Amino acid sequence: VKHVVVVGAGLAGVRSVEALRARGFAGRITLIGQERHRPYDRPPLSKAVLLGDADSSFVDTDLSALEVDFWAGVSAKALRDGAVETTEGDLGYDGLVIATGAEPITLPGDGPQHVLRTLDDAHELRALLVPGARVAVIGAGWIGAEVATAARRAGCAVTVIEAGEAPLAHALGPELGARTTGWYEGVDLRLGTMVHEVREGGVELVGGEFVDAHVVVTGIGVRPAVEWLASAEIDLHNGVVTDEHLRTSLPNVVAAGDCAAWWSRRFQSRLRVEHWDTALHAPEVAAATLLGEDAVYDPVPYFWSEQFGHMLQYAGHHPAGERLVYRGEPEGKWSACWLTAGDTLAAVLAVDRPRDLVQGRRIIEAGHRLDAERLVDPDVALRDC
Ligand code: FAD
């Protein structure tokens, strides 16, 4: 491999460059990024940056020391055999890393609709979160809950519109999500409510009711940013399909981060995880694979969210049907454990209980069985259950 092209200059992209160099790759690297910014972390955008505690979150890396040719503000348009078509012309490669991440889904309607994906989005939105502003947040998922938190802190009048029967229902299930409903005190939380369209001055709900808003923020999820690959002979299904080595269906092409749907040995299923930890670590495997080493990506997925003064941390993967066991009451600090039929731990969610997260993650990794009766006692350490 002489020339590696990395498409997407987010965390997965820049980590791929670092991993290639760390493994001794001395050839040419070109990093292509649609945004004009150098690589930055997104988690702070809905936290410190939106709250006004920070202005940026650039990744601490030295692109010139990495000897990478960084094409900022350039988009990949298509992929042909051995070449990427970009807005600045064609670029040949011997190795390719696809790290184009994901992009927000928006709703119908011609009213102004904000999303929160980029640093520019965060700055735009922050300027609008002023005392007394009426803010409608569509979606009570991770982004919606964090935006609602910041908007409340800024003194806005916040309405959160959620189609599901509880916040976070889509990610964690309605029963667990319902445990967070109390956190929405002071927010007009509309559950089981569908949006028809976003119009000038607010949101029209299905059924005709109109919710007035100066600012509408849509946080209903993302889709993998793979449109540019539509005409390529590459397997796409809910993102770029890869094997456990993060190899795509094309030779010398790997994928990592939000855009990649990889085969998980551990969970015997295909996973696409839209979280920071994956973008941080998967590139090590992607780079190794590209350089011909035998590496496997098989993590226990991890993520966190900070909302309404609470720290939520999740590790694992829980397909539907696992048994839920709670540790602690919803009013205080608590955790939830998903147990398999064989009483091993499939996943853990810790709310303000970081030890449960750390210990739970190790238990999942080791595949230990747990005693469900001891588990319900929050005073018994998870590792002693
Ligand atoms: P991205 O970060 O999406 O980067 C991909 C880059 O590729 C983008 O800059 C994009 O512009 C560029 N690109 C796309 N298409 C092209 C193209 N055709 N040509 C050139 N460039 C292209 N995760 C957590 O675990 N915890 C959190 O608390 C958390 N908070 C978050 C808060 C916000 C507001 C957001 C948006 C995400 C949050 N995440 C969080 C998720 C986490 O940030 C993502 O999983 C991570 O950014 C994925 O990194 P990535 O490099 O795969 O993709």
Sign of CA dihedral 333, 339, 345, 346: negative
Q: Which residue has the tokens 């499939």?
A: 346
Q: Got the DSSP string for 4-17?
A: EEEE--SHHHHHHH
Gap from CA of 243 to ligand 1 centroid (Å): 21
pLDDT at position 156 is 98
Give rounded-to-5 percent helix, strand, coil for the chain. 25, 30, 45
DSSP string, 204-243: EETTS-EEE-SEEEE-S-EEES-GGGTTSSS-BSSSEE--
Please list the residues that pair with 314 across neighbouring strands: 303, 349
For the cut 80, the answer to whether the pLDDT of residue 247 exceeds it is: yes
Per residue in 39-56, pLDDT (tens digit) is 999 999 999 999 999 999
Region of poorest pLDDT, from 106-115, 223-232, 286-295, 319-328: 319-328
Residue whose CA lies nearest to ligand 1 atom number 45: 275
Q: 76 with 98: CB under 8 angstroms?
A: no
User: Would the pLDDT of 80 be above 80?
Assistant: yes
pLDDT of residue 322: 86
46 lines ligand 1 (CB under 6 A): yes
Taking only the tens place, the pLDDT of each residue in 348-366 is: 999 999 999 999 999 999 9
Q: Is the pLDDT of residue 13 over 90?
A: yes
Distance, CA of 4 to CA of 242 (rounded, Å): 18
Q: Point out which residues pair with 76 in neighbouring strands.
A: 86
The type of residue at 99 is A
Using DSSP's 3-state secondary structure scheme, residue 129 falls into coil
What is the DSSP secondary structure assignment for residue 141, as one 8-state letter?
A: S
Does 371 score more than 80 pLDDT? yes
Q: Is 149 in the pocket of ligand 1 (CB under 6 A)?
A: no
How far apart, in whole angstroms, are the C-alpha atoms of residue 141 and residue 221? Answer: 8
Lowest mean pLDDT among 61-65, 146-150, 224-228, 315-319: 315-319
For the chain, list the domains and their CATH numbers: 3-103+222-290 (3.50.50.60), 106-218 (3.50.50.60), 309-384 (3.30.390.30)
Instruction: State if residue 162 touches ligand 1 by the CB under 6 angstroms criterion.
Output: no
Single-letter code of the amino acid located at 285: V
| Ligand 1 lined by 286 (C-beta under 6 Å) | no
Atom of ligand 1 nearest to the CA of 37: 9
Q: CB count, 10 Å around CB of 3?
A: 15
Joined together, the tokens standing for residue 54 give: 């920070």
Query: pLDDT over 90 for what percent of the chain?
Result: 98
Using the mean position of ligand 1's atoms as its centre, give its distance from the Cα of residue 290 in Å. Answer: 22
CA–centroid distance, residue 258 to ligand 1 (Å): 7
Output the CA 330–ligand 1 centroid distance in Å: 31
Q: How far is the CA of 45 from the centre of ligand 1 (A)?
A: 11
Closest ligand 1 atom, CA of 228?
A: 18
Q: Has residue 292 got a pLDDT over 80? A: yes
Residue-wise pLDDT for 185-215, tens only, equals 999 999 999 999 999 999 999 999 999 999 9
pLDDT of residue 378: 95
pLDDT at 320: 76
Q: How large is the average pLDDT for residues 364-378?
A: 93
Ligand 1 contacts CB of residue 101 (under 6 A): yes
Mean pLDDT of 236-260: 98
pLDDT at 321 over 80: no
Contacts of residue 373, defined as CB under 8 A and 6 or more positions apart, other chains included, come to none
Determine which residue's CA is closest to atom 11 belonging to ligand 1. Answer: 34
Model confidence band, residue 319 (pLDDT cutoffs 50, 70, 90): confident
Instruction: Round the average pLDDT of the chain to a whole number and report it.
Output: 97
CB 276 near ligand 1, within 6 Å: yes
Token pair 């750390």: residue: 358
Q: Provide CB contacts within 8 A for 296, sequence distance 6+.
A: 244, 245, 265, 285
How many Å lie between the centroid of ligand 1 and the Cα of residue 102?
6
Ligand 1, atom 16: closest residue by C-alpha: 100
Cα-based distances in Å from 364 to 33, 311, 334, 345: 36, 20, 18, 5
Nearest-10 Cα torsion for 185, 190, 192, 198: -140
